[in-house]
Amino acid sequence: MKYYVFLLIILLFSLISKTYSQSLQELSESVANINIFIETKLNKKEFFEKESFVYCFYLVKNKNIELNDLQLLSYPSFISLKSKEIPIEELSYYDTIIDGLTFSKALLNRFMLTPSNPGTYHIDPIIFEAKISLPIDDTYKNLYRSEAPNGIYTFSYILKSISTEIIIKKIPESPDRPVFIGDFNLD
């Protein structure tokens, strides 16, 4: 009888700690959802065919979040766009303000794209997996001691940019003079 009571206690403890573990994972993911993301940037949304442009991906994160590892899972597919990756040597963070909060931002990846045909195109997201470390608030340290013994909880998290729509226009025809496309600065 004592043996069965002992097994029941172990089973209950296992279930309780598993519930706390799932709760910590869910809590951490909800914190990460608003504190780390990939931002995409284009200087405009409409281009002419054969007009090259740069498409940038930025990693934006709260300063309290520590990234231990960042692995590329999937490049965007640039259907009907000629693409060339422009290498980034290393992540170089700078401060940026979003909704009154200070975040760290770094250029993560960029591509030079050249469309060959007019139309509307959707650029797929770029996807990364990150190992994220979050500090656990003092209020919860005892509750999650087994999952975060040093007060830091580390977990895997998928970062995914948004899909972007671009419009490619046909180059205007002009029989009497040449047509120039693109952004020009004469300074």
Query: Quick one: which of 101, 89, 116 has its CA closest to 36?
Result: 101
Could you give the CA distance from residue 185 to residue 80 in angstroms, rounded to a whole number? 28
Higher pLDDT, 22 or 4: 22
Better-scored residue on pLDDT, 79 or 168: 168
pLDDT, position 7? 35
pLDDT digits (tens, 9 = 90+) for 45-54: 899 888 889 9
- Give residues with Cβ within 8 angstroms of 117, minimum separation 6: 49, 80, 168
**Phi and psi torsions of 33, nearest 5°:** -55, -35
C-alpha closest to that of 157 among 113, 122, 123, 127: 127
- 52-91 pLDDT, tens digit per residue, is 899 999 999 988 788 888 898 998 888 778 999 998 888 8
Phi, psi torsion values for 160, nearest 5 degrees: -140, 130
The helix (run of H) or strand (run of E) holding residue 118 is none
Distance (Å, rounded) from C-alpha 5 to C-alpha 1? Answer: 6
42 contacts: CB under 8 Å, gap ≥ 6: 53, 55, 56, 164, 166
Pick the range with the lowest mean pLDDT from 73-77, 107-111, 112-116, 151-155: 151-155
- Note the pTM of the prediction, 2 decimals: 0.75
